[in-house]
């Protein structure tokens, strides 16, 4: 039977050899991730951690041996295969697991994990309609009080008209170049500047990608049953003031929230 709708990223872009190889070479936590996991602190060592959208295992390197039980999961089977090859020794000797899992419908019991990480804007790829579903799934598989850590593309970055002041000339030029590519592909893009979040065709990845304003990110996360939410910028600084959150123009922003108790 013919497949309905466009072929998703994970069957094209994220399943391609070059992209898998690229992600399987990555190995360092990003600054905000490091800040968040330091904040979770010693509790991590007793945790069951789900590393969702694990890609080629960038985050595995630093997290797998810091938790009690580690499961890396990705909807792209070639990413999972690359992780199994890359971490063969750790799988054998430390019980790491890697599985093909779709964030929109996870094959796990309720409250199976203490920490769910969906890193490097993986949530932006699940599709606009399924974003809330993916967040609700993360909430369902977390125990009450468990930690959700994820990042998302920042729509402010896309239309930061004061980009030179906030980002420096080089970043500004890059942003504008990217923005004009997106405009070419998404013809009616201008109306989005007044919106809270959008799904755009991303010229780099050739598929749809969501961009969201920081306050909307906060709102959507709380709406799906999370609390005690902290937002981080790209340098790993916690941004608590809602006015500052609303003005953030970093290309992506980071969330650390607890599953409601
Ligand atoms: C930008 S890559 C990030 C990979 C890795 N987390 C990293 O930081 O290097 C996003 C990953 O999310 C995965 N992904 C996209 N949609 C997904 C879904 N519905 N369920 C699980 N993983 C998904 C992609 O296959 C891809 O490996």
Whether 54 and 126 map to the same domain: the answer is yes
Whether 140 and 231 map to the same domain: the answer is yes
Q: Is residue 2 part of a domain?
A: no
| Total number of residues shown for the chain | 261
Please state which of the ranges 127-141, 200-214, 243-257 shows the lowest mean pLDDT.
200-214
Q: Is residue 3 part of a domain?
A: no
Answer whether residue 238 shows pLDDT above 90: yes
- Distance (Å, rounded) from C-alpha 131 to C-alpha 103? 9
Domain containing residue 14: CATH number = 3.40.50.150
Is the backbone of residue 120 left (phi > 0), alpha (psi -120 to 50) or beta? left
**Cβ-contact 204, 139 below 8 angstroms:** no
CA 209 to centroid of ligand 1, rounded, Å: 12
Q: Which domain range does residue 51 map to?
A: 9-152+209-259
Whether 53 and 99 map to the same domain: the answer is yes
91 CB within 6 A, ligand 1 = no
**Averaged pLDDT for residues 175-179:** 70
pLDDT (tens digit per residue) in 122-173? 999 998 889 999 999 999 999 999 999 999 999 888 765 444 445 566 666 7
CA-CA distances (angstroms) from residue 127 to 113, 132, 201? 24, 10, 11
Whether 98 and 194 map to the same domain: the answer is no
Whether 163 and 74 map to the same domain: the answer is no
75 CB within 6 A, ligand 1 = yes
Whether 63 and 38 map to the same domain: the answer is yes
Q: Which atom of ligand 1 is nearest to the CA of 104?
A: 19
Last residue of a domain, one of 187, 202, 217: 202
**Could you tell which of 74, 81, 131 is best to mutate to test the pocket of ligand 1, judged by most ligand atoms within 8 Å of the CB?**
74
Whether 78 and 33 map to the same domain: the answer is yes
Whether 30 and 85 map to the same domain: the answer is yes
Q: Is residue 30 part of a domain?
A: yes
Give the model's pLDDT for residue 171: 66
Answer whether residue 44 shows pLDDT above 90: yes
55 CB within 6 A, ligand 1 = yes
Q: Is residue 56 part of a domain?
A: yes
Last residue of a domain, one of 166, 183, 202: 202
Which tokens sit at 53? 């959208």
Which tokens sit at 187? 């013809």
Answer whether residue 205 shows pLDDT above 90: no
98 CB within 6 A, ligand 1 = no
124 CB within 6 A, ligand 1 = no
CA 235 to centroid of ligand 1, rounded, Å: 22
Give the model's pLDDT for residue 199: 76
Whether 97 and 178 map to the same domain: the answer is no
CB atoms within 10 A of CB 98: 24
Q: How many domains does the chain have?
A: 2
Whether 148 and 162 map to the same domain: the answer is no
pLDDT (tens digit per residue) in 81-108? 999 999 999 999 999 999 999 999 999 9
**Could you tell which of 50, 57, 122 is best to mutate to test the pocket of ligand 1, judged by most ligand atoms within 8 Å of the CB?**
122
74 CB within 6 A, ligand 1 = yes
Q: Which residue has the higher pLDDT, 169 or 78?
A: 78
Q: Which residue has the higher pLDDT, 166 or 219?
A: 219
Q: Is residue 55 part of a domain?
A: yes
Q: Which atom of ligand 1 is nearest to the CA of 76?
A: 25
pLDDT (tens digit per residue) in 59-77? 998 999 999 999 999 999 9
Whether 29 and 119 map to the same domain: the answer is yes
Query: By alpha-carbon position, which residue is closest to atom 13 of ligand 1?
Result: 53
């Amino acid at each position: 039977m013919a497949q309905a709708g466009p072929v998703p990223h994970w069957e094209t872009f994220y399943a391609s050899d070059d992209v898998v190889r690229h992600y399987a070479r990555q190995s360092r936590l990003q600054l905000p991730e490091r800040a968040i996991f330091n904040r979770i602190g010693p509790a991590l060592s007793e945790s069951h951690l789900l590393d969702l959208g694990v890609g080629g295992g960038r985050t595995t390197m630093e997290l797998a041996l810091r938790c009690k039980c580690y499961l890396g999961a990705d909807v792209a089977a070639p990413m999972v295969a690359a992780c199994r090859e890359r971490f063969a020794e750790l799988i054998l000797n430390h019980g790491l697991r890697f599985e093909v899992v779709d964030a929109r419908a996870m094959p796990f019991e309720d409250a199976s994990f203490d920490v769910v990480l969906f890193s490097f804007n993986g949530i932006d790829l699940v599709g606009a309609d399924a974003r809330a579903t993916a967040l609700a799934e993360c909430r369902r598989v977390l125990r009450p009080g468990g930690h959700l850590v994820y990042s998302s593309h920042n729509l402010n970055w896309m239309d930061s008209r004061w980009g030179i002041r906030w980002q420096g000339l080089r970043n500004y030029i890059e942003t504008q170049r990217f923005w004009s590519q997106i405009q070419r592909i998404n013809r009616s893009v201008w109306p989005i500047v007044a919106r809270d979040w959008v799904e755009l065709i991303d010229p780099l990845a050739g598929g749809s990608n969501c961009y969201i304003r920081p306050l909307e990110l906060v709102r959507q996360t709380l709406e799906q049953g999370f609390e005690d939410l902290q937002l981080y910028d790209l340098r790993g600084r916690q941004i608590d003031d809602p006015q500052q959150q609303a003005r953030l123009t970093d290309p992506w922003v980071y969330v650390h929230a607890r599953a409601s108790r």
